[in-house]
Every structure is written in C-alpha cells, then in structure tokens.
Amino acid sequence: MTDYEETIKNIRTARNKKTASDPLHWLNLAGLFWLEEGENPFGSDEANKIVLPAFPQANCGSLRLKDGLVTLQPAEDTNITINGVPPASRPLLTDREKEPDLINLGSLTMKIIIRGGAPLVRIWDRESYAGKDFTGFHYYPAKPEYRITAKYVRYDPPKLIKVMEVIGTEIDSALLGQAQFTLNGVDCTLEAEKSGDGLLFNFTDGTNKDTTYGGGRKFYLPKPEGDEIILDFNLTENWPCAYTPYATCPIPSKENRLPIKVEAGELKYHD
C-alpha cells in the first residue's frame, strides 16, 4: 500500500469511527415533520400531529408555532429536557443559531430546523437499528489518478444563486469560482459554492445510475491561494439523503453534471 492509499484509508477509518460514536448521525434519524401554526402535539398515539412509536408516552407535549417562533409545551409527568436541563418557557433556538436547542426524551432527540423560511422538527433515535447496525461506509479503492490539479477561476463578484433542496425548498447561496480540469480525457468544469470559509463541490456523474448514490456526491476544500486547486475525488462523500429519507439535501445544479464516470470516492450505502 502506498503512502497515499494509507492516507485515504486512515481518513475513511476515522470517518467510520466518528459515525459509529455519534448518536445524532444521519443514520439515527427517525422522522422529519413540518410544523403547523398553533399546536403540534407529539407522542406515540396516532391522534398526535407528530407520531413515532419510540415516544415514551401516548402524548408527550406539544410544539407551539406562533409568529414564526416555536415553544415547547411538555405534558405533565414527561421526563423531557432542553440541552440537559428542565425546559424553560422561551422560544426554541433553531439550526439557524450557532448552538440550536436539543430536546431530549427517552431515546429521542428533537431539533427545530428552518427550511424555506418555515420550521420543521427533526428527530433522532439513539436506539435506531440503522445506527446500531452500522459497520462502515462503502468506497471505491483509492485511485491516485483521481487526485488532480485543476485551474481555479475566481468570480469577482461572487455569483448569487438559489439552490433547490429535495424537500422542495430553496436556499440562498453563492458561487465563488470554477474549477477547470481534464479527467479521463474529457474537459470538465465544476462550480465552487460557498460553504462557511471554504468551498463546496456538489456534483453528479455517470456512476449515479448504478454504483453511487443517485442524488449526487460532494466534497469540501479550503479556498485556494492561487489559480490552482487540488481536486481529490477519492474523498467524495454521499449526501445524507443517501442514508435516510429525513434529510433535506441540496440538489446538484445542471452545471455540475459531469459527463463522465467518476469511479472514486463513496459508493451507494443501500443496494
């Protein structure tokens, strides 16, 4: 095994270990529910708006949506906490905040997320079979020829765009540049989307029909200093939608549909 192959192996092993130890990984997602104005009762009984068998009681309380803010109304005698302490009467912090509130009861954890300007509740189950049965992600063997140097063309100013998500909502984003390269004898380009302080490459390719997740794959890179950027397709990963129906992944743009097969990086998780 070459030093490069060993490096890729270590990165993948570390990812597997992190996933196996994370109770709030995508594999443990148990539900995703839109919140309606007013009361949104939750529990194991079918009479609730938010229903999961793993809720410890028939009715555990309600999530009240008013004027865009969500508050928790626990049912009596329900052992429920927010961030590990008894719930306070205040609006819940959503995923738009640096530290969103985590609601815990039984084996479940809930968090309010905002998509398309509307709130949803995302629910994890620490006892999820998908999480407990996790044995590792699946990958192509590391191939050095899929680590390539591309020309990087900056956009000045950045191009403001709308990104469609699989649940039908849109988010505002920006393209910071374009990577131009040749792979498998074919000239290709990938648009570089802003992601925090770095770049996101969200793409599809010819493998999505058979060996890789149909919704596309991704990788992140720091912004390059010069006019070149190293693209390592061995480090591509699936979007969370490859593991669960309860994720809200962005859809790759038509500009990032590569006209070749990229037989590197992560494979399908499910057959």
Map out the domains of the chain as residue ranges: 22-132, 137-256
- Comparing CA positions, the residue from 60, 145, 158, 75 lying closest to residue 107 is 60
Q: Kindly report, residue by residue over 186-212, the tens digit of the pLDDT.
A: 999 999 999 999 999 999 999 999 999
For the stretch 62-97, pLDDT in tens is 999 999 999 999 998 899 999 999 998 899 999 999
The CA distance from 107 to 43, in Å, is: 13
- Which pLDDT score is estimated for 132? 87
Does residue 124 contact residue 24 with C-beta atoms inside 8 Å? yes
Token pair belonging to 69: 């803010």
Output the six-digit token pair for 63.
């999530």
Pair type for strands 81-82 and 69-74: unpaired
Q: Going by C-beta distance under 8 Å and a sequence separation of 6 or more, which residues neighbour residue 209? A: none
Identify the pLDDT of residue 80. 96
Q: Which two structure tokens, joined as six digits, stand for 71?
A: 């508050």
Q: Phi first, then psi: what are they for 26, rounded to 5°?
A: -55, -30
Its pTM stands at: 0.91
- Do 61 and 80 touch, CB atoms closer than 8 A? yes
Backbone angles phi, psi at 256, to 5 degrees: -105, 30
- Cα distance between residue 103 and residue 13, in whole Å: 31
Counting as low any pLDDT under 50, the low residues of the chain are: none
- Reduce the DSSP state of residue 262 to 3 states and report it: coil
By CB neighbour count within 10 A (0-12 exposed, 13-18 middle, 19+ buried), where does 160 fall?
exposed
For domain 22-132, give the CATH number. Answer: 2.60.200.20
